[in-house]
Amino acid sequence: MRTKKMFQLMLVVLMLVSVAVFARGPKQDGPPEGMMNDGPHLMRGRMPGLRIQFLGIVLNDPSVQEELKLSKTTVTKIQDLITENKKFNVQKRADKEILQIDLQKEADQDTINVTKVKELATKIGALDSEIFIRNTTDNAKGLNFLNPDQKNKLKKIVADNHKKLKKRFKKNWKKKRK
């Protein structure tokens, strides 16, 4: 009986891992993901180019707005897009967490309903995909507000900020390890 439950639990874990890997899509070229490369504040997964979170830099720093020569209308459009993206992500992550709670409850049963587990795991994977697609779409929309020169300047600003964050993280990491 105990062996059967362990087998069912292992099957559930395998299905969840498979769904998560499938939802992320193929691995992109470049350095591995994680805090050392992307920082803890960035979106999960690898996306080429600038991410929508970087557009937040534009909104938080007037000197960047001035350097990019952005109009108030453009800043407002980007701000509205980021706000809607945040609302969407909060809602979908809450839906995902509820499904994960249901999945955990199902996995804790004496007899695991594999059909129900598959259904929940599929829904969780679908939410991950929906979030990724929306973030990618909003990223493209946000960058379309900028002209090519502004995009290049923003990439340079982001790269500089990324280097500073990486140095700070490494410095703090070394302090903690001592």
Convert the pLDDT of each residue in 61-99 to its tens digit: 788 888 889 899 988 998 899 899 999 999 999 999 999
Please tell me the distance from the alpha carbon of residue 72 to that of residue 126, in angstroms, as a whole number. Answer: 37
> Which pTM does this prediction carry?
0.62
Convert the pLDDT of each residue in 25-66 to its tens digit: 444 444 334 333 333 333 444 444 556 666 676 677 788 888
According to the model, what pLDDT value does residue 61 have? 78
**6 vs 66, which has greater pLDDT?**
66
According to the model, what pLDDT value does residue 92 have? 96
- What is 64-133 written as a DSSP string? HHHHHT--HHHHHHHHHHHHHHHHHHHHHHHHHHHHHHHHHHHHTSSS--HHHHHHHHHHHHHHHHHHHH
- Would you place residue 18 in the very low, low, confident or very high pLDDT band (cuts 50, 70, 90)? low
DSSP state of 51: -
According to the model, what pLDDT value does residue 88 have? 95
How many percent of the chain have pLDDT more than 70?
A: 61
Convert the pLDDT of each residue in 131-152 to its tens digit: 999 988 998 898 899 899 988 8
Could you tell me the CA-to-CA distances from 103 to 40, 91, 125 in Å, in that order?
27, 18, 12
How many Cα atoms are found within 13 Å in the side-chain-facing hemisphere of 12?
A: 23
Q: Where are the domains of the chain?
A: 1-10+50-146
Residue 157 identity: I
Average pLDDT over residues 118-134: 93
How many percent of the chain have pLDDT more than 90?
A: 28
Mean pLDDT, rounded, of the chain? 75
